[in-house]
Amino acid sequence: MSNRILSETIPVAPLKILIMPHLMELGKKVNHHLVHYRGDSQSRYMTNAFDVYGYREPTYLTNANLIRFGSGEGKAELMESIRGKDLFILGDILDSRSIYQLYGTNSYSSPDDNFQNLKRLIAAASISHPRRINLIMPFLYEGRRVIREKLESLDCATMLQELSNMGVENFITFEAHDARVQNAIPSRGFDNFTTSLQVIRELLKTEINLCPDKEHLMVISPDEGGMNRAMYYSNVLGVEMGAFYQRKNYFAEPNEDGEYPVESLAFLGSPSNQRAALVVDDLIASGTTLLQTARELKKRGFTNIYLVATFGIFNRGLQPFDEGFKEGLFDRLYTTNLTRLPEELKKRPYYSDVDVSKYIALIIDTLNHDTSINDILNPSLEIQELLKQCLRTVV
């Protein structure tokens, strides 16, 4: 969406952004882009939108303290009033590298701990009576468990309802495992964004010799659950799609990640014909699925293999990917900075970071103006422009 369109509307209220500590690096980038957007807009378009108090600020960040007591209990404290503000909270519940003291010993935060901290921030913010509370939760808490198959909890739906009751009006997430969970809060805003544009841009930037057409590239889904994502990539790129079907042993005990052992893999797709493979997934937990997929693709004659995941947890460390890279299973690994990543990952020669801070800034700016987000929800046209430029360069 252009600054021209935003300049013709008045913001809902002055903008403020509250960031959970472990996403501070991403949040500062988002704030930088917003300051640049609005400063550039004001210099070019002198309209009513820019007469609103607080529209152009040196920073939109507001500070809060998350305090832990020796017993493990905690509280959140805002450092300034946000009365009447349009508040955006940027929070990551996946981070497990934050440490707090519990009875004198170090304890690592879990997603449950991070979710409690998020609720504390929302509760502290609501006391100040902001105009609106918007939550950007890149990875939905318990978002992979949204369908009841037996006697089990539906924590993601419960979470959405709980935060909605606390005053959150709009939920913004990325690559939701199953966006139908939004039916738990039918009266609230729920927007699910894709990072495909940013991924493809970084892919074409780092792999300058890659020709992204159907003769040289194929999109692969590592399992049947990710086929919709792979179909979208294949459609916007104009290439063929393949997928692996996993036959699992459901009579065996699941591993620590709740996954059942895979007994065999069946490939659904055309022969490689010496093409490159773009393997797309939503999450790297242990990394077993992506590396197993890469190994099977190598057996089937695919040349270059690029692994893409929106979120990187790496709960078994980087050693499996280090060994896979040395073995020649893949050429490059891409993840976004939507969650806190291990610092050592950024030093790996096979890794490329997909920065989505500019995209988040655009989302915040658009929602603050209360205008349509249809154009940024579907980036197909921008992807097509990228491909045209790339193909002209390759040819």
Tell the residue number behind the tokens 């199953």, with chain if given.
178
pTM: 0.89
Residue 184's pLDDT is 92
The string over 103-118, giving b where at least 16 C-beta atoms fall within 10 Å of a residue's C-beta and e elsewhere, is eeeeeebebebbbbbb
Mean pLDDT of the chain: 88
Query: 82: which residues sit within 8 A by CB, 6+ positions away?
Result: 16, 18, 62, 125, 128, 130
Residue 153's pLDDT is 86
Q: H-helix or E-strand containing 22?
A: none
Q: Decide: residue 45, CB within 10 A, 0-12 exposed, 13-18 middle, 19+ buried.
A: middle
Phi-psi region of 273 (alpha: psi -120 to 50; beta: other; left: phi over 0): left
Q: H-helix or E-strand containing 191?
A: strand 189-193
**Strand ranges in 37-155 using DSSP code E only, listed in sequence order:** 61-62, 64-68, 74-78, 86-90, 99-102, 105-108, 132-136
Query: 58: which residues sit within 8 A by CB, 6+ positions away?
Result: 35
Report the C-alpha gap between 95 and 23 in whole angstroms.
9
**Which residues of the chain, if any, have pLDDT below 50?**
1, 45-46, 395
Report the C-alpha gap between 364 and 391 in whole angstroms.
32
Phi-psi region of 392 (alpha: psi -120 to 50; beta: other; left: phi over 0): alpha
Report the C-alpha gap between 387 and 385 in whole angstroms.
5
Query: 240: which residues sit within 8 A by CB, 6+ positions away?
Result: 214, 218, 219, 234, 269, 270
What is the total residue count of the chain?
395
Report the C-alpha gap between 276 and 215 in whole angstroms.
9
Report the C-alpha gap between 261 and 270 in whole angstroms.
26
Residue 1's pLDDT is 47
Residue 260's pLDDT is 74
Residue 190's pLDDT is 95
Sequence letter at residue 318: L
CB atoms inside a 10 Å sphere around CB 313: 21
Instruction: Give the three-state DSSP class for 110.
Output: coil
> What are the pLDDT digits (tens) for 145-199?
777 777 888 899 999 999 999 999 999 999 988 888 999 999 999 999 999 999 9
